[in-house]
Amino acid sequence: MKAHLCLNPLLNALLTLAKFAAATGAVCMTAHAFAAASAPTVTAGALTIGADLTYPPYDYMEGSAPSGFDPAFMDKLASHLKLKPDFVDTRFANLILGVNANRFDVIASALYVTPERARQIDFVPYLKTGGSLLALSHSGFAPKTPDDLCGKRVSSIKGASWIPKLNDVSKQVCAPAGRGAIDVREFDTSPEAAQAVLSHAVDAQFEDSAVAQMTVNKLGGRVALTSTTPLYPVVIGLGIKKGNDPMQPS
């Protein structure tokens, strides 16, 4: 189903934030973290950007054009650097491998800043978010917190930062209480993880809050947001290869 901006207030808010950032100088601050247009890039004259374009409202395709918060933000950033933005659609689990293999200059794909990832790449933070839980509407199962997932099957996009946290809850909360482990099942894309909920292959989905709201809208209310507060609040950052000094914060 094609995403339309008018369907999702959160998406409109994210894109408004991108416009606000550009207008108020936040993009300039981010651009200052790079050595401007003189920095060597994967392709001369271009800023090559790794993004998982299956992840609305942050990153998705609208027709043949990358759309969402990250493309809007990175278009402005590239303009400040006098570079042409070039997006490379890459599944989320392969983004860090891609930037470290010089497939692109920077990751802009709702990449949560975590200690584990910070050991592999450097970050330029630019947004704060959190997670949400989704379940089938009117199913009788409405988890509010990770503790409610004990003994349940949970879908997630592959490589998400909350997976180790859910595994910790499983070991530290569920097992001692004899409530059964959290069975986390990973999928290449968020839509596949949502489909697993629809097909009863899992009991719930853990997802970024903005993406979760978009999923509810796209599926016409067949799934519902069941958590009421952001779970595991975290900062999102642009990802840069370690040792790529001209692209590092200055």
**How many other CB atoms sit within 10 Å of the CB of residue 106?**
26
For residue 248, the model assigns a pLDDT of: 64
Beta strands 223-225 and 121-136: pairing type? Answer: antiparallel
For residue 18, the model assigns a pLDDT of: 47
Q: Largest Cα–Cα distance in the chain? A: 59
Least confident of 40-44, 134-138, 233-237, 243-247: 243-247
Angle in degrees, CA 233, 209, 222, rounded to 5: 150
- In which residue ranges of the chain is CATH 3.40.190.10 found? 5-128+235-247, 130-232
What are the helix (H) ranges across the chain? Answer: 9-24, 26-31, 69-80, 95-100, 115-118, 162-169, 190-198, 209-218
In residues, how long is the chain?
A: 250
What digits encode the pLDDT tens for the residues 58-99? 999 999 999 999 999 999 989 988 999 999 999 999 999 999
Is the pLDDT confidence value at 52 over 60?
A: yes
Question: Which architecture characterizes domain 130-232 according to CATH?
Answer: 3-Layer(aba) Sandwich (3.40)
Least confident of 2-6, 30-34, 80-84: 2-6
For residue 127, the model assigns a pLDDT of: 87
Is the pLDDT confidence value at 176 over 90?
A: yes
Query: Per-residue confidence at 103, pLDDT binned at 50, 70, 90?
Result: very high
Least confident of 19-23, 75-79, 107-111, 147-151: 19-23
70 closest CA partner among 81, 94, 54: 54
Whose structure tokens read 């379940």? 135
Coil, strand, or helix at residue 15? helix
In this prediction, residues 18-43 reach a mean pLDDT of 57
Beta bridge mates, 48: 86
Is the pLDDT confidence value at 36 over 50?
A: no
For residue 3, the model assigns a pLDDT of: 33
Cα atoms in the 13 Å half-sphere on the side-chain side of 243: 6
For residue 6, the model assigns a pLDDT of: 29
Is the pLDDT confidence value at 39 over 70?
A: no
Considering the entire predicted model, what is its pTM?
Answer: 0.81
Sheet holding 54-55, edge to edge: 54-55, 59-62, 65-67
In this prediction, residues 5-9 reach a mean pLDDT of 34
CA dihedral (97, 100, 103, 109) in degrees, to 10, reads: 60
Task: Report residue 77: phi and psi, to 5°.
Answer: -65, -45
Does the structural domain 5-128+235-247 have CATH classification 3.40.190.10? yes
Is the pLDDT confidence value at 27 over 60?
A: no
Q: Helix (H) and strand (E) counts for the chain?
A: 8, 12
